[in-house]
Structure 1
Amino acid sequence: MSTLTAPARPATRRGPGRRTIRLRTYLAFLLLAGPNVALLLIFVYRPLLESLYLSTLQWNLGSPDARFIGLGNYVEWFTAPGTGTVLATTGVFTVATVGGSLVLGLALALLLNRRLRGRSAARTVVFAPYVLSGVAVGMLWLFMFDPRYGLVASGLGMLGLPSPQWYTTSPWALVMIIVVYLWKNLGYVALIYLAGLQAVPAELRQAAALDGASTVRTFRSIVLPLLAPTTFFLLVTTLLSSLQSFDIIQAMTQGGPLGSTTTLMYQIYQEGFVTGRAGYASAVATILFVLLLAVTVVQLRFVERKVHYA
């Protein structure tokens, strides 16, 4: 009897092993992310570590001699008589600019979201100040706030009101800075809110209208909760931007009068490049970094819990 033999199976070609796949993935990661990581290490984390080291030194800018004093610069800053004023100015400026930007930006976004003639041109005009130089904006508004010939003085004169001495009066100088900062950054907040409003489903508004909900009730119960992720994003970005503001203050008041517009960020510039105390300025910069880090952690840890993503 003849025996039947099974046909030979074709040789199967094995694919690359797990180690090869992992090696390729790792090499692709290094190729794509490596340059960015290297730039961060060189231009962000290395200066940060050097600033931490300089904050422990008594060193004047340009001097060849430096003396290690440990936490001496930090002790001096916390015990300085003007520290409370700087912190209060920073707090008032930050709360006013962040809160004002969110409220006014949302109101402006609601207006730009309507079907109006020339809406596209209006959006461009509103966003334009955000991309302008802060120094140029500050110089422009200096002329507008001139107590004798400025546009603001003319407007107040039509109402029968005198113009405050914006440049030399302590509270009004800070108000002037806040107004200019709001004007410059309002377009950014409005644009982000506008994108969030356009992402709200129209069906939800129509369903609320069919149920008899008013416009205010629809906005409060439907639109605002859906804008929570947008609001959280803007809260983080505008807060960090306000704490690091410098250009408008430098162009308009140079921290005066009598330090009434000196924030933490501007104090770093004054101590480092005006008085030349580089070690002390590095200590203030480290304090600002810790403050920014703490604010960000609190926002991500507690505030984000109340944000509901659709």
Structure 2
Amino acid sequence: MGDTRSSAAVITPQTAAASHDAAPRPAPPSSTERDAHRRRAARKRSAKNWSLFLLFAGPNIALILTFIYYPLIRNMEFSLLNWRLGSPRATPIGLDNYIRFFTSPSGLEVWRITGIFTAGAVVGSMILGLLIALVLNKKIPGRTFARTAVFSPYVLSGVGVALVWDFIFDPNRGALMHILAVFGIDSPAWKLDADWNLVMVIIVYVWKNLGYCAVVFLAGLQSIPRDLIEAAMIDRAGAVRRFFSITLPLLTPTVFFLFVTNIIFSMTQAFDILRIMTPTGHGTNTIIFEIYLQSFGQYQRAGYSAAIAVVLFFTLFVITAIQLRYVERRVHY
């Protein structure tokens, strides 16, 4: 019986590879398909980022919109009304409240007092705070206790501070009267004279807030590289030369920060001291105190008070924008 060969082809690795190479390959994606895929991936990343943003920042944004911007918008609406506090009726009068504030003698007096108080409070707090920080930056005994003592008035209640200082400045039985009497000096009429009234509240405000400036300045002084100071000392530069040539230029970011924050604080956060020490605003009716006097004082002109509050908001906005635009150029980072 003869040999018979199978008609089926014998599959070898070479033939398998040849058949695999001969199979049709899928076409590569076109540029349009690649662009569509990249767009889908970018949308997914964007949706994920927005979800995380809303998850973490959403509650804060909701609180800011509810308790800051919504009252601001409503206050702008009230500023266009002739409305007394508690009255069921309000008459739209347009911009009359703003015109009255910028043209009346009382409004101009508010601007004058606000400018004097802000300048005295900011300059006094920053200069005294810097001098104290320079002292506390040295290795002296008890400096930790001194730093705490300097900063502690800043965290005290403004009402409590005002009550204590109100007793100190009392011209009849105050502590300052007895101290001045030792040197044969009569106590000024702090409560009766409008100018002395303003000086009094500036002194109290500076005393309360210079600890904040001192601590911030102290942090700035400790961030200055010691190598620069030592190099200047090797070059025999005196203490005054080192301060104005090295220390002060390197402190300009700190000075700029304190300058911006102190202006805002002095115009908005001095109400407690002013209210306790000068209840009627005799010579101390800064713009923030004038808002209170016009709305809750004897006038109860809520619409006019709302207009002053709007003016205060935009004044601070413009001052801060100017500082960020022009003053920051002189800052050495």
Tell me which interval the TM-score lies in, with the shorter structure as reference length.
over 0.9
1:284-299 superposed matches below 5 A: 284-299=308-323
What is the deviation of 1:271? 0.7
Looking at structure 2, the residues matched to 188 and 84 of structure 1 have their Cα atoms a distance apart, in angstroms, of: 31
Q: Which amino acid aligns with 1:247?
A: D
CA contact (8 A) 1:255 1:263 kept: no
Matching of residue 306 in structure 1 with residue 295 in structure 2: no
What is the deviation of 1:79? 2.3
Matching of residue 184 in structure 1 with residue 208 in structure 2: yes
CA contact (8 A) 1:164 1:172 kept: yes
Deviation per residue, 1:250-308 (Å, 9 max, x gap): 00012433xx1111110100111112111010011111111111111110111001111
Looking at structure 1, the residues matched to 276 and 146 of structure 2 have their Cα atoms a distance apart, in angstroms, of: 28
Looking at structure 1, the residues matched to 51 and 190 of structure 2 have their Cα atoms a distance apart, in angstroms, of: 59
Match of 1:110 in 2: 134
Matching of residue 252 in structure 1 with residue 277 in structure 2: yes
CA contact (8 A) 1:246 1:266 kept: yes
Looking at structure 1, the residues matched to 224 and 318 of structure 2 have their Cα atoms a distance apart, in angstroms, of: 32
Q: Secondary structure at the match of 2:84?
A: coil
Deviation per residue, 1:154-211 (Å, 9 max, x gap): 2211222110011111211111000000000010000000000000010000001111
Q: 1:266 aligns with which of 270, 273, 289?
A: 289
1:33-48 superposed matches below 5 A: 33-48=57-72
Match of 1:64 in 2: 88
Which has more radius of gyration?
Answer: 2
Matching of residue 26 in structure 1 with residue 50 in structure 2: yes
What is the deviation of 1:72? 1.1
CA contact (8 A) 1:225 1:308 kept: yes
CA contact (8 A) 2:275 2:281 kept: no
Consecutive unaligned residues in structure 2, runs of 5 or more: 1-11, 21-36
CA contact (8 A) 1:255 1:266 kept: no
Looking at structure 2, the residues matched to 79 and 148 of structure 1 have their Cα atoms a distance apart, in angstroms, of: 39
| RMSD (Å) for aligned C-alpha atoms | 1.8
Consecutive unaligned residues in structure 1, runs of 5 or more: 8-13
Distance 1:255 1:87, change over 3 A: farther
Q: Which amino acid aligns with 2:154?
A: Y
Looking at structure 1, the residues matched to 318 and 280 of structure 2 have their Cα atoms a distance apart, in angstroms, of: 25
TM-score by length of 1: 0.93
Looking at structure 2, the residues matched to 234 and 98 of structure 1 have their Cα atoms a distance apart, in angstroms, of: 9
Looking at structure 2, the residues matched to 2 and 99 of structure 1 have their Cα atoms a distance apart, in angstroms, of: 91
Looking at structure 1, the residues matched to 100 and 228 of structure 2 have their Cα atoms a distance apart, in angstroms, of: 57
Q: 2:157 aligns with which of 133, 139, 153?
A: 133
What is the deviation of 1:61? 1.1
Larger displacement relative to structure 2 (154-163 or 28-37): 154-163
What is the deviation of 1:17? 2.9
Number of residue equivalences: 301
CA contact (8 A) 1:249 1:255 kept: no
TM-score by length of 2: 0.87
Runs of at least 4 residues of structure 1 off by over 3 A?
4-7
